[in-house]
Structure 1
């Protein structure tokens, strides 16, 4: 799930407008992941944020070959 730094967020709403699943909303003039269950984690929100207030942490997974 994207993490939104509310200190950096200026409430412009660009992230909300580009989110294809409508996972984000503006509340009290700040972006919020209101519906994390529908987030596709594609990163459009992070890419358009002019304040770099959105980050998408990732998990490193090691897959072992089954030989």
Structure 2
């Protein structure tokens, strides 16, 4: 559920930034915002996945010792 909310927030922010870039005199800062928010989203999803994989690895180690 939280991933969906973060995804929709990312889509909304990047959409607004891209629309704003259409009428801006200098659109590059808004392009940076739009791409930056996607980079932050991908990094947050990646970190969450790495934590999950680490938990699974620890559980497997514990079960192997038993």
Q: Shorter-chain TM-score: what band?
A: under 0.3
What TM-score, normalized to structure 2?
0.25
Higher relative contact order (CA 8 A, sep 6+): 1
**Normalising to structure 1: TM-score of the pair?**
0.25
The structure where strand makes up a greater share of residues is 1
| Bigger proportion of residues as helix | 2
